[in-house]
Amino acid sequence: MLASCASQNQTSMHHAEAERLLPALLSAARLAGQAIMDIYVNGQHDTQLKDDHSPVTAADLAAHGVLVPALARLLSDCPVVSEEDGDSQRYRQATGRFWLIDPLDGTKEFLARNGEFTVNIALIEQGRSALGVVYAPAIGGLYWGGPGLGAWREQAGAVQAIQVQAGTRCRVVASKSHLNAETQAFIDRLGEVELVQAGSSLKLCRVAEGAADIYPRLAPTCEWDTAAAQAVLEGAEGMVLDELGQPLRYGKPDVLNPSFIAARCASLLPA
């Protein structure tokens, strides 16, 4: 299920643990996705606003209720940090490890009924996303992977390894709802491009599976929005770098991410 490690000394322990954890992680993601779909199909979209004025639905909370106990059973010494549990934020640390989840990433996509919402599960170790699972239940896409482990996609029951790939011209993931002036200026500097639309953490997965080349995100995101898909993209030999050219880190004092660029290779990044 996972690729051979490039460095046995550095990653063999993670490789063995990932093999052990993955079946339960994929099962938990599917169960959370089913909880979301039960509400999505029935149209029970009761929505409330959180303190930051972002929407939360019964589906967010249902998926949270599935994932937290499932992950707590997997690693007894590993706390679960969830977007839907403010008290859990105290476990978000730059050292050690913790689960970081967004039970329903793309609540706006969920409410718009466009199917591009995901379940995000990441295992954070020493500030890096070591293993990630991204599940898009409405469109049947399941992704998983991690740095040094490889990356996979399951679609319509078929599993295949995925890896970043170059297109005939530069393909840029651009979000209609977050296409600010700074992002547009960045895209303009790339020259002639093809725009690829995607919602939620699927934006990074599009790069990981070779359907896009670069995703500039020059607008706010939170750690739980990116952690799982970053692990998948890095497993697919891509990168997610901040404005200083460093991989995006987790367990920071501020849950907000800096601006970042997800790309298949460094040559696409600005000088």
Domains observed in the chain: 8-161 (3.30.540.10), 170-268 (3.40.190.80)
Interaxial angle between packed helices 8-42 and 58-74, expressed in degrees from 0 to 180 and rounded to the nearest 10: 150
pLDDT, tens only, 94-142: 999 999 999 999 988 998 889 999 999 999 999 999 999 999 999 999 9
Q: Is the pLDDT of residue 235 over 60?
A: yes
Q: How many residues does the chain have?
A: 271
pLDDT, tens only, 176-234: 666 788 888 999 998 899 999 899 999 999 999 999 999 999 988 999 999 999 999 99
Q: Is the pLDDT of residue 5 over 80?
A: no
Eight-class DSSP state of 254:
S
Contact 173, 214 (CB under 8 A): yes
Burial class (CB in 10 A: 0-12, 13-18, 19+), 87: exposed
pLDDT, tens only, 255-271: 999 999 999 999 888 76
